[in-house]
Structure 1
Amino acid sequence: MLNQGLGSWIHKRRVKSHGHTAVIDGAVSVGYEVLAERIDRLANALEGQGIGRGDRVAYLGNNHPAFLETLFACGSIGAIFVPVNTRLAPREVAFALQDSGTSLLVNARQLESLAQAATAIAPVASRLVVEDDHEVVGSYETAIRAASDEHRDVPVSLDDTAIILYTSGTTGNPKGAILTHGNLTWNSLNVLVDYDVTSSQVALMIAPMFHVASLGMGALPTLLKGGTLVLQDRFEPAAVLAAIERHGITSLSGVPTTYQMLAEHPDWDTTDLSSIRMLTCGGSAVPMRVLEAYEARGLSFSGGYGMTETSPGATSLQPEHSRTKAGSAGLPHFFTGIRIVDAGGQDLPDHAVGEILVQGPNVIPGYWNRDDATAGSFQDGTWFKSGDMGYVDEQGFLFIADRLKDMIISGGENIYPAQVEQAIMELPSVASVAVIGVPDQKWGEAVHAVIVPVEGQPVTRDDIAAHLDGKLARYKIPRTVEVVADLPRTASGKIRKTDLRESHRKRTLA
C-alpha cells in the first residue's frame, strides 16, 4: 500500500462496508461502492485537468457529496484540498485562492456569483461547477462521467499535507493551517476512542464541513468507522428534527445556539429522539437551561476544546461529567497532551491560570507560506501555543479562563477583531475603533464596535454596515456600535479592551 493517507479510506471501505450507505443527501443515498468509484473517477478527472501531487484544489460550497468526493479525490493523487467558507466576501475568498496558489476551484452552482467575483480578483486555471439538482449534469458531473474508474495507489505519507484550512487572521489576513494526513487520521482515532463511534453511526451533518469541527470531529471519524453521513446544506430546526426521526440519527454536533433553537422549536416535544446516542457541543459551554431541556428528554452532552491547529480536538468532556465538572472542557484526548504555562513558558501548578499548550500527532506542523507565524506558535518545537488561557484541576480537567487573543465566537464562527477594526478604519469618519465580543443570548457572543469619530463627522451603525458589506462576511459586521469621545488605553497606548468589556457589562446590568 503506497497511499497511507485519507485517499485510501473510501477505497478500503468499498470492500469492508460493501452494501452499507456512506452518504445521504436529500433523497439520494450513496453506498460506499458508488462513492469509491466516483472518487476514483474524479481523481482521474483532476489529473486530466493537470492536477498532480502538491497542487491545490479549492472547494466553495455547502454540505454536499461533492465536498467529500473532492477531498478524497485530492488525497488519492496527493493533491491538497482547500475548503473555503461560503459566508466570506469575494475579497476574502480571493485571498484564500491566491495565498494557497489554488489551480482548480470546484464550486456549487448557487455560489457561482461569489466564485466569479473571487476568481476575477484571484484567477484560477480551471473550475468545475456542481449543480444543486442531482438530475442536472454540470461540468463537475460531466468530468466524473467522462473519466476512468481505475483506482491507482500513489505514494502519500501521513506527513504529507492533506488540507490547507484558513483561520481568521489576528492581523488582518487569515493564515492557512497545514493539516497533514497524519493530523486528520490521529484526530479521527482520538474521536473513535473517546466518543465510542461505531459502524452503525448515523451522523447528521448540520454544521458546514468547511469548518474543522464538523469535518474532523464528525465526517471523517464516521467514514473511517464505516458509518453513514446525512448531509444538510443549511441549519433549519424543523428539517433537523424531521431528519432525526426519518433517518434514525445517532449523533449530532453543533454549538449552543443550534441546540437552543432545536429545543425551542414547536416540533421539539413531538419528535422521536430515541435513536440519538451522542450529542457534542463546541464553541462554548452549554447553558444550563439548554442542558436541562435535553436532560428532560433523556439526552446529555459531550463537550470539548480545540482549534483548527489541533485538527481540531484537544480535550473532551464526557456526558457523565457534564454536571460534576460543569464549565470544564474535559480531559485531553487519548493521544493528545496539554500543559499550562506562565509567560516564561514554565509549567504551572493545578488551578493556576496560564496559557494552554497542546501536543500530539493531531497538532499541525505549521502554516502555509508563513514561517514567521509557524516559528512563533510553538514552544520546545512540538507544543502548540494556543493563545488561550486556562487551568487544570487536580484530576487533569481543563477549564478555559479567558482568551489571550481577542477572538470572538459568534454562533460557532471565529471572528478576530483586528480584521474588523482594519476594515472599519478605512472609513474617513473613524478616528479610532475597538471591536469586542459582548454576551448574546442567541449567538453566545455578538460583535460590538466602540468608535471614536473624527471631529465633526458623525458615524452610525448603518454607515459601518454599509461600508463593510461585501468586504467582510456578514457575521463579522458589528451588530451594535457605540460612539465615544475616547478609548481607554495603557501607558504604552494599547487599547484596554478589558475596560471596554467591563463598561459594557455594567451598562447592561444597569
Structure 2
Amino acid sequence: MQEDRLADAVASPGIDYDAMPRLGDIPRYYAQLRPDNVATRFEGRDTDWAELDRRSDRVAAALLESGCRAGDRIAYLGKGCDAFFELLFGVARAGMVLVPIQWRLASAEICTILGNAGAVMLFAGPDQLDRVVECGQGVSRIVAMEPGQGDWPVFAGWRDGGTGPAPAADAVDPGDVALQLYTSGTTGEPKGVMLSHRNLLRGRSQAMAASMPWNEWEEGDVNLVALPLGHIGGVGWALVGYFNGATSVIHRDFVPAQVLDAIVRDGVTKMFLVPTALQMLLMLPGVRAADFSRLRHILYGASPIALDLLREATEVFGCGFAQQYGMTETCGTIVYLPPEDHDPAGNSRMRSAGLPMPGVELRIVDPHSRELLAAHAVGEVETRSVANMVGYWGQPEVTAQTVDDAGWLRTGDAGYLDADGYLYICDRFKDMICSGAENIYPAEVESAIYGHPAVQEVAVIGVPHDKWGEEVKAVVVLRPGAAADADAILAHARSRIAGFKLPKSVDFVAAMPRTPSGKIMRRKLREPYWAGRDRAVN
C-alpha cells in the first residue's frame, strides 16, 4: 500500500558523507550502515548493499587480473542495467576510468569515441552485438554483459572468476579521474569530459550540509533511473541516489508506460527527467488516474521547459518540482529552482534557472572582453566550484579555452543574474539569432509558441536572409490528431512576444532530430538552409 510505504520511510540517521570521498567508497559505506537494504532493483532482481559491495570488489580484482592498470579507460556500451553499477564501482576501486558510451550514437561515432578514449576493455550490452563487431577491433578485450553475445566471456562469470584481492580504499586519490563522459555534440565533435571522484562527490556533500528540503533524502527513498547512462543526467543522477543510500530502480531505457508503472509499483519518491520525457508521460492515457502519493519530488533539466508544460506536470503529479541547470563539465547541477518558486499561476522566477547550489559561484561576463557585467545585463555565464571538470581528454588547448587559470568555466550560455542572485538563461550563444541589429534568443520564441494547444514541440532557428542576415524560423511538431497552420501559430505567438522576434515562417515535421540525451539538434535543423555557405551565421 502507498500509505504503508510512506510510513516506512523515516529520516536517515546521520550519514557521514565525508566517509565517501571516492565512488568506490559508496557501496563499502552502506554495506556497513544498511547491509540488507536494497541498493539496486532491476527487472524484478534486487541487490542489497552488502552484495553490491562484494561484487564491486570482485570487479576490481578481475580488472587487475585482466591486465588493466590504474588510469586505464574501460568502456561500456549498452542500456541501463544493475551490472553497470557493479562495473562502475569496481572500476572506481581499481583506480581506472569508466567511459560509458551513449548507446543511441551511430556506429561511426562510437568508433570515434573508442579510439579517442584508448579503451583497453569494452563491456557490451545485449543489443550492441553488431556495433561491437564493427567498432571493437581496437579494444584488446570484450566482455558481454548478458549471455548469448557471441564468444565473448559473460560479465557475471568474468567478475566471479577473479581470485585476487581488491585494491585498498586509499590506493585511489579523490582527485583522480573516475568518469569520462563524451559531450552530446549538438554543435560539433564530442569531447571527452574528465570528472574526478572529488568533482562528482564533494559538491554533493556540500549540498547535503545545506538546508534544502527538496534535496534531502530519507531511508526508504526510491530513486528512478531511466535516462541514458552515457549522459550526466543518467549516470550523474543515479550516483546522487546511491550517494544518499536510496534504492535505485534501473530501467534499460525510458519507455513511458514502463516508467509510469514503476512509479506506482516501486513507490518511487524521486526522479530526474528531461522535459521531453515529462511530456511523454503526460500523454499516456492512464496518467491522470495513477497514484502518485509517494512521489515527493521530480527534478527536471537538460533543456528549457515551457511554462505551459510545467503547469500541466505540476497539476498531474501533485509533487514538488525542482529545476536543475548544469552541464557535463560541471558534473550536472550547479543551479536549482526550488519547489517554492514554482507557481502554477506563473511568476517571474519560473522563467529563471534558479539559484547557485552551495559552494557554486556564478558570474556574467562580456563574451568578448570578459569584463564583469552588472545585474540584468546579458552576457556569458561562468561558474566556479569543486564540481568543475578536470579537463577535456587529450585536448589541453580546448581545456584552457574553457577553464581559466582562476578556475572559472565558460558555459557558452547567454544569461543574466537578477538582483536576488537568480540566474536567467536566455539561450546558447551559438544558438542566438542575429537579425539586423537585434539579438533573438530561440528559447523565448519557443516558449511563446509552445502554449498553442496544437503544438507538441517547437524549435526555433535562424535561417539566411539577404537583407537582415538571419530571419527567425519555427519548426513545429503537432500533437497527435491536432491540426494548425502557420498563420494560427504565428497569431498565437504575436500576442506574447515583440514583432521583430516573431518567426517569419513555420515548418511542420513529424519528429525533431535529437542527441542521445534527448536535446534537440538545432544544428541539424539549420543545415539545409545554410548548405553551400562558408559559415552557418551571417
Change (3 A) 1:357 1:27: same
Residue of structure 2 in register with 1:303 after alignment: 323
- Given that residues 253 and 281 in structure 1 are in contact (C-alpha distance below 8 angstroms), is that contact kept between their aligned partners in structure 2? yes
- 1:21 is matched by which residue type in structure 2? V
Amino acid at match of 2:62: A
1:59 paired with 2:76, answer yes
**Aligned residue number for residue 8 of structure 2:** none
Q: Using the alignment, how far apart are the partners of 1:63 and 1:437 within structure 2?
A: 37
Q: 1:172/1:389 Cα in 2 relative to 1: closer, same or farther (>3 Å)?
A: closer
Output one character per residue of 1:188-243: Cα deviation in whole Å (capped at 9) or x when no partner: 33554541233332011111122102222x21121111111001111122111111
Q: Deviations over 1:241-274 (max 9, x none)?
A: 1111111100111111111111121110221101
1:37 aligned onto 2:54: yes
Aligned to 1:335: 359
In the alignment, the residues of structure 2 paired with residue 10 and residue 437 of structure 1 have an alpha-carbon distance, to the nearest angstrom, of 50
Paired residues in the alignment total: 440
Partner secondary structure for residue 190 of structure 2: strand
CA offset at residue 32 of structure 1?
0.5
> Which residue number corresponds to residue 320 of structure 1?
340
Q: In the alignment, what sits opposite 1:19?
A: 36
SS at match of 2:108: helix
CA displacement, residues 276-305 of structure 1 (integer Å, 9 cap, x when unaligned): 111011023332332222332422321021
What corresponds to 1:285 in structure 2? 304
Q: Which residue of 2 aligns with 1:166?
A: 182
SS at match of 2:35: coil
Give how far 1:18 is off: 1.3
Residue aligned with 1:86, SS: coil
Distance 2:166 2:254 in 1: 35
| 3-state secondary structure, aligned to 2:359 | coil
1:181 to 191, 194, 197: 197
Q: Distance in 2 between matches of 1:438 and 1:178?
A: 36
Determine the C-alpha separation between the residues in 1 that align with 2:402 and 2:353: 22
Matches within 5 A, 1:48-447: 48-120=65-137, 123-131=138-146, 139-148=154-163, 150-154=165-169, 155-169=171-185, 172-189=188-205, 192=208, 193=210, 194=212, 195-216=215-236, 218-297=237-316, 298-323=318-343, 324=347, 325-342=349-366, 343-406=368-431, 439-440=475-476
TM-score w.r.t. the length of structure 1 is: 0.79
Distance of 1:125 and 1:2 partners within structure 2: 35
Q: Quick check: 2:62–2:164 contact (8 Å CA) kept in 1? A: no
- Give the superposition deviation at 1:352: 0.3
Alpha carbons of structure 1 residues 394 and 55: separation in structure 2 relative to 1, 3 Å: same
* Deviations 1:86-116 (CA, angstroms, capped at 9, x unpaired): 0111111111111111000001121111111
**Which of structure 1's runs of 4+ aligned residues deviate more than 4 A?**
1-4, 169-172, 407-410, 436-443, 473-487
Tell me how far apart the structure 1 counterparts of residues 529 and 20 of structure 2 sit (CA, whole Å): 59
Deviates more, 1:307-316 or 1:294-303: 294-303
> Which amino acid letter does the alignment assign opposite residue 130 of structure 1?
M
Closer/same/farther in 2, CA of residues 277 and 401 from structure 1, 3 Å limit: same
Residues 383, 477 of structure 1: CA spacing in aligned structure 2 closer, same or farther, 3 A cutoff?
closer
1:321–1:92: structure 2 CA closer, same or farther, 3 Å change rule? same
**Offset of residue 132 of structure 1:** 6.9
Distance 1:378 1:485 in 2: 31
TM-score by length of 2: 0.75
Alpha-carbon distance between aligned partners in 1 of 2:520 and 2:425, rounded to the nearest angstrom: 24
- Counterpart CA distance in 1 for 2:294 and 2:92 is 33
| Residue of structure 1 in register with 2:482 after alignment | none
SS of residue in 2 equivalent to 1:110: coil
Whole-Å separation in 1 of the counterparts to 2:530 and 2:393: 41
8 Å contact kept, 2:297–2:322: yes
Note the alpha carbon deviations across 1:67-101, whole angstroms, 9 max, x for none. 11111111101011111010111111111111111
| One-letter identity of the residue aligned with 1:222 | G
Conserved? CA contact 2:233–2:302, under 8 Å: no
| Unmatched segments (≥5 aa) in structure 2 | 1-17, 433-441, 447-458, 462-469, 480-510
Out of 49-58 and 148-157, give the one that drifted further.
148-157
Q: Which runs of 5+ in 1 are unaligned?
A: 418-433, 444-464, 498-510
Q: Which amino acid is 1:214 matched to? A: G
Instruction: Check whether the contact 2:186–2:522 (CA below 8 A) recurs between aligned residues.
Output: no
Q: In 2 relative to 1, CA 187–113 (structure 1 residues): closer, same or farther, beyond 3 Å?
A: farther
Instruction: Indicate the SS of the match to 1:109.
Output: coil
Distance 1:3 1:329, change over 3 A: closer
CA distance in 2, matches of 1:110, 1:222: 27
Q: In the aligned structure 2, how far is the partner of 1:188 from the partner of 1:344? A: 33
More off after superposition, 230-239 vs 79-88: 230-239
- 3-state SS, counterpart of residue 102 of structure 1: coil
Letter in 2 for 1:87: R
C-alpha change, 1:474 and 1:182, in structure 2 (3 Å) is closer
Alpha-carbon spacing, 1:81–1:480, altered in 2? closer, same or farther (3 Å): closer
Partner amino acid, structure 2, of 1:176: G
Alpha-carbon distance between aligned partners in 2 of 1:386 and 1:475, rounded to the nearest angstrom: 18
Offset at 1:496? 2.6
Contact kept? 2:353, 2:423, Cα under 8 Å: yes
What CA distance in whole angstroms lies between the structure 2 residues aligned with 1:240 and 1:64? 15
Output one character per residue of 1:154-204: Cα deviation in whole Å (capped at 9) or x when no partner.
511121111111114477432111101100012433554541233332011
Is contact 1:110–1:132 with CA below 8 Å preserved after alignment?
Answer: no
**Aligned equivalents of 1:477 and 1:115: distance in 2?**
29
CA distance in 2, matches of 1:474, 1:111: 23
Distance 2:528 2:182 in 1: 32
Contact 2:94–2:166 (CA under 8 A) maintained in structure 1: no
Q: Is the Cα–Cα contact under 8 Å of residues 124 and 144 in structure 2 kept in the other structure?
A: yes
Identity among equivalent positions (%) equals: 31
